[in-house]
Structure formats: structure tokens, C-alpha cells
């Protein structure tokens, strides 16, 4: 996460947004701190996470989204099928995995197709993310009623 030096509001990588003032951000951080007490977080490559994860662990994966981030975050070289192979190895060892990835765009009119292996995930849910940040940037102030997106949340448990 980033903060603008000029007004100390939280910032995002692109587009106009309603920043979170630091006065309301601080209580959120305090709540998050209490809720995650005792948890260990690691920022690392998923191959390293595969080696470290043990039965009973929960791994959250948030890879580049192929339908909306193909030119961002190094997504050109990201291999979704390889990630699914890693998730299958975790699952076999008793590690629970939550994966957020492309869901729907154009207000649900377009479902993002992905090569998701049958039987890898036990549950799938779609999370309404509101208006597309990327489209907001591209459309330069034009209306976005048809640009609501939903992320797909896949769970191995």
C-alpha cells in the first residue's frame, strides 16, 4: 500500500479514487491487528510457499488476473496452470488454499474463462468488487454502470 506525501491519504496505482484519510485508516489497522494476532504472514513466491506449507496451514493466492491485468504486475509470464499444479500439491498435503482470480466483468455479462482443473476446488464464490478500477482509468470520467466486476474466490476446503 502507498500513501501520498502531499495529503497522507492512502493511494492506489492508477485512476481517480476516494482515498482513505489516515484518521479513519488507523482504526482499521488496529482492528486488523487484533484479528490477526498470532498469524504469520510471508510475502514470497508461491513455489517457496509450497515448500514451507504444512497440513493445517491456510495459503491465500492473489495472482495477476489474466483478463484484466495481462499487462500489469509481470502477468505476461504468469502461468496459471502451473499455480493450479502447486495448489493440487498443497491440497494433497492437507493445506487449505484460497485463490482470488478473474470472475466476471461488464456487470456480470461476461464470465472470465479460466483453465480451472475439475475437482481441485471445493467451493466457488463471486465477490462483487464494484466498478472496475482499470476501466475507470481507461474511460476517463465516462459512466461506468456497465463496468461492475466480480472476483472469483476458489476454496480447496
Q: Name the CA radius of gyration of the chain, rounded.
A: 18
Instruction: List where CATH 3.40.50 sits in the chain.
Output: 40-155
Q: Which of 3-12, 16-25, 118-127, 145-154 has the lowest mean pLDDT?
A: 3-12
| Domain at 40-155: CATH architecture | 3-Layer(aba) Sandwich (3.40)
pLDDT band at residue 19 under the 50/70/90 scheme: low
Question: pTM here?
Answer: 0.65
Distance CA 87, CA 24 (A): 37
pLDDT at residue 8 in the model: 64
Cα–Cα distances (Å) from 8 to 15, 21, 73, in that order, read 17, 7, 25
Amino acid at each position: 500500500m502507498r500513501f501520498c506525501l502531499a495529503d497522507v491519504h492512502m493511494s492506489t496505482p492508477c485512476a481517480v479514487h476516494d482515498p482513505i484519510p489516515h484518521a479513519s485508516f488507523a482504526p482499521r489497522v488496529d482492528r486488523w491487528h487484533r484479528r490477526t494476532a498470532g498469524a504469520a504472514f510471508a510475502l514470497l513466491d508461491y513455489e517457496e510457499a509450497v515448500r514451507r506449507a504444512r497440513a493445517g496451514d491456510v495459503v491465500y493466492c492473489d495472482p495477476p488476473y489474466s483478463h484484466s491485468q495481462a499487462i500489469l504486475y509481470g502477468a505476461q509470464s504468469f502461468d496459471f496452470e502451473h499455480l493450479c499444479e502447486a495448489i493440487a500439491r498443497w491440497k494433497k498435503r492437507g493445506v487449505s488454499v484460497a485463490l482470488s482470480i478473474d470472475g466476471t466483468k461488464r456487470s456480470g455479462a461476461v464470465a472470465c474463462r479460466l483453465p480451472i482443473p475439475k475437482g481441485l476446488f471445493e467451493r466457488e464464490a463471486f465477490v462483487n468488487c464494484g466498478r472496475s478500477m482499470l476501466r475507470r482509468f481507461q474511460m476517463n470520467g465516462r459512466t461506468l454502470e456497465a463496468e461492475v466486476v466480480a472476483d472469483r474466490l476458489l476454496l480447496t476446503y
